[in-house]
Amino acid sequence: MMKPKSSLIISPNLGCPEITAIEVLNDRGFQMVIATAASEEFDTRAHSMTAMPSFDGAGEAFGLEISAAEKLANEALPAHFEDLGETRLLISTTLRKTLLPDYCFWRVTAKPKVALGDQHLRNTEGAARSTLYELTLAVNGVHVGHVHHSLCLRIGRGVKFVHVTDLHLAARNDLWAAEVRAVIDSSPAAPRQQSFKNFNERFRKFIKWANERADRGELDLVLALGDLVDFSRTGLFDETADDSNWSTFIDMVTGTSAEHERGNRGLRVPVFTTTGNHDWRTYPYSPAFRLDLFGITKKFADELDLWYRNTSVEVGKKLEQVNNALMREGSPLLARSWWGAIANMGARGIWVGAQRLVQRAQAVVVSYGLQMVWALIGATGLFTAIHTAPKSLPVIGSVLNHPWLSAGGLLAILVASLVLPARFYAWLRNTLEGLIAIESDVGAIADYFLRVNPYFNYAFQLENCAFIVLDTGSDCLTAQSFWDDGGKKVRRISIDDNIIGGAPDTMGFYPANEFYPYSQVSWLECAVDCIRDHHKSERIFVGLHSPAANLAPSKRKQAEQILAMRNAPSVLMHQGIKDRYDIRYGTVNHYLSQFFYICLGYRERDLTYVGPRIDAVFSGHAHWNMEFELGKPSNGGAEWSPELRYGWFSRNIEGHCHDTGNRWGPLLLQTAACGPQGAVATEVPPNFRYVTVGAAGEIGHLRPCSLTDPPILGVAAPAAAGAGKSR
């Protein structure tokens, strides 16, 4: 984790940049949040700011004046927001008390010292384009802080953005790809069709596509919504800031470090981020877990796994720690609340309890394997001697005196004493590695909070579009529930969602908890009220990682069959309290019904409330494309429950993009993964969703895309079949 210095730029930052026009920046400046060592006063004269172009030859550096410092001491959710930008003035409990406990947070205004002009914009083929800047902070002339791609000087009209999700970046992806190539190149016997599927390389291809669109003025921003990294700790280097896959993410977005050598110059448009369940995971999983994701054989996976284990010191330490804990006390949750788990969680409690017992048995076998082998041999010999003496003693003696049998017996005993414990150890290690791979911890996102984006939830306005970004948190069933009291955070979950390798439920929408002291639903209501009262928004978009509705593979297949049979535009999934389909496969875990009402412009507790409706909710997590539409029942009376329909709605919306009377939405839009391959053959990574909004709010493009689609703006609707995974 990065070690904080005397002062830090908290916001804007790489994953929550400021987008503004030159004339607005010259007139009003922009709001910033700066953290300083605990102080009663912010010295504006001691702090100075400089904006540097993010790319050579793209703009000119300029200085910024800092003024109007206001201490951000209130941790409570305000009664209302006057502007969406105020959502960035709420400092999370995690940042305030866990990561920077000795710091104060200040709201300041930064304004150019001299008026900016056209020379501060990059020029591409004779046209001015939006330009990214880095912000650097100095205290008394000493450089103390730097944030990448945090300020964008905007050019153009209309809003054009991309939703991209499930990047799964990791330093090991590039190392493994090089290792596979080296083996193939050095061994004529190696299968030439072997090709490692590198998630990092797929994101680089997306960056190239995005930059081409940006250079033509066809892209304003990227929403990168969760599973940005595969896991946080690389385990490959010393325990420094570089030993973090967040460094890999930053290098790829900014084009720094060794990215130039790979042909990646960095993303030329601002990126807005939030976390996914993988971003909360600390440790890696074995390449053998999903061979199809990496495109390698079991043999290659075993070789890569051995090579990676030898370099992953952190995983080895964690394995030893967990094994010792299991030996010492088993699972604390099992020991303290075994019957409670069964009573409160039903079948899931039985399954979790059984798994814990198996792991405890494995730990005992591994720790005492050698002693158990010798004890078994001794007990067998004693039992034989008792039941065969005295009449069999001469026979036994003559047999045991045979030189070949005596040597073979000793060899068998030696092999058993060495091999059996090793076998049990491998068995236990594989089990524990699978659990460790889903261990979630707030420490995993420490570098993300300090170097990318300090917010769980935030919102911003761009022209006639309002964007609300929400965090959906860690896996609901995490490894902590196996060896501490992590299970207490679990609400409604199902077994098949959460078995390792399935589509796990996630912890959003958070109730008030240790990360911040108010619920996300309450925060969302404040943000929507702000849009209603203070913003003129033609479109409202919500972005998050884990979907609010999803179908298991078998249920999706049934829905597709009904669509084809009826030749209907959609099929009803959910009506009132009756679930025709289970729509909760791998979704957010709390207060889902409240979220549906908010999207429709109502409040579940007060159906007389009238507010703006959400136009689209963008999510990922399941690694495939899927679309739902929320609606109010046509026969709904004073009390009603939302309806949810499944279909391909983006096609119809694009076909009526200039019809302002065409009502649609709210839509729940999942986008296939940018990094891993989903199970749908046509969804070839990198996948993304390109969206354009005109001056009157008309939608010009909404469908999901892939680089294999010719042309990129005229793609066909995705094929429907198969299953998605969110490992």
Which residues, other chains included, contact 69 with Cβ-Cβ below 8 Å and sequence gap of 6+? 42, 44, 106, 107, 108
Q: Does the pLDDT value for residue 487 go beyond 50?
A: no
Mean pLDDT of 305-313: 56
In the block, residue with structure tokens 């969110």: 726
- Per-residue HEC secondary structure of 34-48 comes to EEEECCCCCCCCCEE
SS3 string, 496-525, reads: HHHCCCCCCCECCCCCCCCCCCCCHHHHHH
Residue range 103-124: mean pLDDT, rounded: 95
Question: In the predicted model, what is the mean pLDDT of residues 582-588?
Answer: 88
Residue 240 has pLDDT above 70, yes or no: no
Residue type, 667: L
Mean pLDDT over 482-508 rounds to 63
Higher pLDDT, 5 or 690: 690
In 244-287, where do the E strands start and end?
271-274
Average pLDDT of span 77-101: 93
Mean pLDDT of 344-372: 52
Nearest to residue 279, comparing CAs of 498, 505, 444? Answer: 444
- For residues 235 and 311, the answer to whether their CB atoms sit within 8 Å is yes
Q: 271 has which bridge partners?
A: 222
Q: How far is CA 331 from CA 77, 246, 292, 346, 632, in A?
A: 37, 32, 33, 18, 46
542 or 410, which is more confident?
Answer: 542
396 half-sphere exposure, CB direction, 13 A CA radius: 12
Long-range contacts of the stretch 242-250 (C-beta < 8 A, 24+): 244/1, 244/447, 245/169, 245/170, 245/171, 246/447, 246/448, 246/451, 246/452, 247/171, 247/447, 248/169, 248/170, 248/171, 248/200, 249/167, 249/169, 249/452, 250/14, 250/148, 250/451, 250/452
pLDDT given at position 342: 40
Alpha helices of 216-265 — where are they, by DSSP H? 245-254
Above 90 in pLDDT, residue 168? yes
Mean pLDDT calculated for residue range 402-414: 58
Residue 419 has pLDDT above 90, yes or no: no
532-576 confidence digits (pLDDT tens): 999 988 999 999 999 999 998 888 888 888 888 888 889 888 765
- 10 Å CB burial of residue 7 (0-12, 13-18, 19+) is buried
pLDDT band at 152 (very low <50, low <70, confident <90, very high): very high
Whose CA is closest to 227, among 281, 292, 177?
Answer: 281
Q: Residue 689 — very low, low, confident or very high, per pLDDT cuts 50/70/90?
A: very high
> Distance (Å, rounded) from C-alpha 300 to C-alpha 302?
5
Instruction: From 541, 500, 619, select the one nearest 226 (Cα to Cα).
Output: 619
171-186 vs 245-254: helix crossing angle, rounded to 10: 90
Query: Does residue 474 have a pLDDT over 50?
Result: yes
- Find, among 315, 329, 356, the residue nearest to 482 by Cα: 356
First-to-last CA distance in the chain? 25
**221-230, 283-292, 478-487, 712-721: range with lowest mean pLDDT:** 712-721
Counting every residue written for the chain, the total comes to 727
- Residue 496 confidence (pLDDT): 62
C-beta of residue 251 within 8 angstroms of C-beta of residue 449: no
Distance between CA 191 and CA 179 in Å, rounded?
Answer: 14
pLDDT for 643 beyond 80 = yes
Give the Cβ contact number of residue 502 at 10 Å.
19
Kindly state the percentage of the chain with pLDDT values over 90: 46
pLDDT greater than 60 at residue 331: no
- For the segment 237-256, the average pLDDT, to the nearest whole number, is 82
Structure token digits, residue 640: 């009603």
Is 410 a residue whose pLDDT tops 80?
Answer: no
Mean local confidence (pLDDT), 684-693: 94
Tokens of 698: 């008309």
Element (H, E) at 290: none
Q: β-strands 30-37, 103-112: how paired? A: antiparallel
The segment with the largest mean pLDDT, out of 45-49, 362-366, 556-560, is: 45-49
Of the chain, the percentage scoring pLDDT greater than 70 comes to 71
Percent helix, percent strand, percent coil in the chain, to nearest 5 = 40, 20, 40
Mean pLDDT of 126-153: 95
Measured distance CA(297)–CA(310) in Å, rounded: 20
Closest CA to 137 of 30, 9, 15, 2: 9
Model pLDDT, residue 721:
35
Query: Under a CB-based contact definition with an 8 Å cutoff, are residues 653 and 664 in contact?
Result: yes
Taking alpha carbons only, the member of 117, 225, 175 closest to residue 470 is 225
| The dihedral sign for the CA sequence 136, 137, 141, 142 | negative
Give the least confident one: 46-50, 139-143, 177-181. Answer: 177-181
- Give the C-alpha separation, 175 to 180, whole Å: 9
Q: What is the pLDDT of residue 638?
A: 80
CA dihedral 25, 26, 28, 30 (to 10 degrees): 30
The pLDDT assigned to 437 comes to 79
The per-residue pLDDT of the chain, averaged, comes to: 80
- Place 623 in a pLDDT band, splitting at 50, 70 and 90: very high
The owner of tokens 């913003």 is 535
> How many CB atoms lie under 10 A from the CB of residue 11?
25
Q: How far is CA 699 from the centre of its chain?
A: 28
Q: What is the pLDDT of residues 269-308, one digit of tens each?
A: 999 999 999 999 988 887 777 788 888 887 777 777 655 5
Q: What is the pLDDT of residue 51?
A: 98
Instruction: Please check whether residue 191 is in contact with residue 246, taking contact to mean a CB–CB distance below 8 angstroms.
Output: no
Q: Tell me which of 63 and 497 has the higher pLDDT.
A: 63
Q: Which of 473-477, 510-514, 578-582, 684-688 has the lowest mean pLDDT?
A: 578-582
Exposed/middle/buried for 395, CB within 10 Å: 0-12, 13-18, 19+? exposed
Question: Looking at residues 606-618, what average pLDDT do you find?
Answer: 93
Flag the least confident range among 3-17, 398-412, 530-544: 398-412
- The pLDDT score that the predictor gives to residue 713 is 45
Give the count of beta carbons closer than 10 Å to the beta carbon of residue 408: 11
Residue 424 has pLDDT above 90, yes or no: no
Q: Render pLDDT for 593-610 as a digit per residue (tens, 0 to 9).
A: 999 999 999 999 998 898
Q: How much is the pLDDT for 309?
A: 56
